[in-house]
């Protein structure tokens, strides 16, 4: 138990660390733009680009923490659970059971009209969270497996992963937006400079170089960080989910069934990928191991997750292996 509470604390500390990192990235983007402006002979007295970048980042983080979960749910066309439908009634019961097992308030439950099995959790922490599963998950999994998937999502809530991922996604989005503006602005700036012939000399060239590099690299770095955070959280959610149900094999067989459905989950947009139990893009990245897959996948390889869960139940890594 203790290491779970340590994990929670570390997660809260990590949230601060990642936010600091992203803020520094924003400041860097802003400063290099200000440098460009200054070298180009345009000096308003205040570092307006830096202030603007921080404003955009702050607003998107604030917005994601106040209503970002609702936007995510709406983007997937998730509908509130209908208790008169028997399979949804089972889901409602299973969520209640897992809330009791984790000692947390029961999250709001949503169903996504999509045939591909998948699930995600969102919200800002245990006090305000939602769990959404696809119709396909309800149809394809038995009660124990459904319970296991919900326990995984409940763990994301309990470990404060939902808040970490919400903020990380919002800041990565802000950086993407800013560097997009930066690229457009650069084209416009080049056009103007050719007209005016007011060169900034070596300093101007240097700032231009730094700026190009940063607007090209920033979204890439932001994306990599977001993915690394996401992958790291998945193993922990699998393990602490199994701790809730004391039934790691049910989660292993649920993951096997989910992985067997190769198709993507069309209702779930790419921006929500890192929140899901399986990558909804239906790619092959998470079937592979190695540095490339490790860099770009939002989720660790499925085979590795299943093997770890089977290990918890003292079973061989795969059913065929004796």
Partner 1 sequence: MGAIGGCLLILVIGAIFCAIWAIWRYNGLIGLRNQVANAWKQIDVQLKRRHDLIPNLVSAVKGEMQFEQDTLEKVIQARNSAVAARGVADAAEKENALTQTLSRLFALAENYPQLKANESVRALMEELSSTENRIGFARQFYNDIATRFNTAQQVFPDNLIAQTFKFQTVELFEIKDAAERAVPKVDLSIRPQPGA
Known catalytic residues are 153
Selected binder of partner 1 within 103, 187, 191, 201 (CB under 8 A) = 103
CA distance 304 to 318: 10
CA distance 136 to 233: 24
Q: Which of 110, 111, 75 is nearest to 266 (CA)?
A: 75
Residue 303 as a binder of partner 1 (CB under 8 A): the answer is no
Residue 228 as a binder of partner 1 (CB under 8 A): the answer is no
Residue 217 as a binder of partner 1 (CB under 8 A): the answer is no
Query: 10 or 106: whose CB is closer to partner 1?
Result: 106
Selected binder of partner 1 within 48, 65, 79, 97 (CB under 8 A) = 97
Selected binder of partner 1 within 12, 90, 228, 307 (CB under 8 A) = 90
CB of 93 to partner 1, least distance (A): 4
Contact predicate 159/237, CB 8 Å: yes
CA distance 193 to 196: 5
Selected binder of partner 1 within 89, 192, 262, 304 (CB under 8 A) = 89
Residue 66 as a binder of partner 1 (CB under 8 A): the answer is no
CB of 9 to partner 1, least distance (A): 14
Distances (CA, A) of 18 to 10, 33, 92, 252, 319: 12, 23, 34, 31, 39
Residue 102 as a binder of partner 1 (CB under 8 A): the answer is yes
Q: Which two tokens stand for residue 305?
A: 């997750």
Q: Which two tokens stand for residue 176?
A: 């993407």
Residue 98 as a binder of partner 1 (CB under 8 A): the answer is yes
Chain positions 182 to 211 lying near partner 1, rule: CB under 8 A, are none
Residue identified by tokens 């960080």 is 225
CA distance 70 to 63: 11
CA distance 134 to 112: 4
Helix (H), strand (E) at residue 120:
strand 119-125
Residue 86 as a binder of partner 1 (CB under 8 A): the answer is yes
Q: Which stretch binds partner 1 (CB under 8 A): 43-51, 92-100, 257-265, 280-288?
A: 92-100
Query: 118 or 245: whose CB is closer to partner 1?
Result: 245
Helices (H), 40-85: 48-65, 68-75
Chain positions 135 to 174 lying near partner 1, rule: CB under 8 A, are 147
Q: Which stretch binds partner 1 (CB under 8 A): 99-107, 175-183, 224-232, 247-255?
A: 99-107
Residue 14 as a binder of partner 1 (CB under 8 A): the answer is no
Query: Backbone phi, then psi, for 222, in 5-degree steps?
Result: -60, -45
Which stretches of the chain bind partner 1, using CB under 8 A?
A: 1, 86, 89-90, 93-94, 96-98, 100-103, 147, 244, 246
């Amino acid at each position: 138990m203790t290491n779970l509470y340590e994990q929670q604390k570390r997660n809260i500390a990590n949230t601060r660390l990642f936010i600091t990192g992203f803020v520094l990235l924003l400041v860097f983007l802003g400063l290099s733009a200000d440098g460009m402006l200054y070298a180009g002979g345009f000096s308003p007295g205040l570092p307006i680009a830096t202030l603007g970048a921080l404003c955009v980042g702050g607003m998107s983080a604030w917005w994601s923490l106040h209503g970002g979960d609702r936007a995510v749910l709406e983007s997937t066309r998730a509908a509130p659970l209908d208790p008169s439908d028997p399979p949804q009634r089972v889901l409602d019961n299973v969520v209640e059971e897992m809330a009791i097992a984790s000692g947390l308030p029961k999250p709001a439950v949503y169903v996504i009209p999509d045939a591909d099995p998948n699930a995600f959790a969102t919200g800002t922490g245990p006090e305000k969270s939602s769990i959404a599963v696809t119709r396909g998950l309800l149809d394809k999994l038995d009660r124990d497996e459904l319970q296991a998937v919900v326990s995984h999502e409940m763990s994301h809530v309990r470990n404060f992963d939902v808040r970490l991922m919400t903020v990380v996604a919002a800041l990565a989005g802000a950086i993407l937006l800013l560097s997009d503006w930066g690229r457009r602005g650069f084209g416009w700036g080049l056009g103007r400079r050719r007209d005016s012939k007011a060169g900034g000399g070596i300093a101007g060239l240097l700032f231009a170089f730094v700026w190009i590099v940063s607007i090209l690299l920033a979204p890439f770095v932001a994306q990599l960080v977001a993915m690394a955070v996401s992958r790291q959280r998945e193993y922990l959610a699998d393990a602490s989910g199994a701790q809730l149900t004391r039934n790691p094999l049910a989660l292993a067989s649920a993951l096997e069934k989910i992985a067997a459905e190769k198709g993507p989950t069309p209702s779930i947009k790419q921006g929500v990928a890192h929140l899901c139990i399986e990558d909804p893009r239906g790619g092959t990245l998470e079937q592979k191991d190695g540095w490339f897959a490790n860099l770009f996948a939002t989720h660790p390889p499925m085979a590795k997750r299943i093997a770890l869960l089977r290990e918890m139940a003292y079973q061989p890594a795969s059913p065929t292996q004796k």
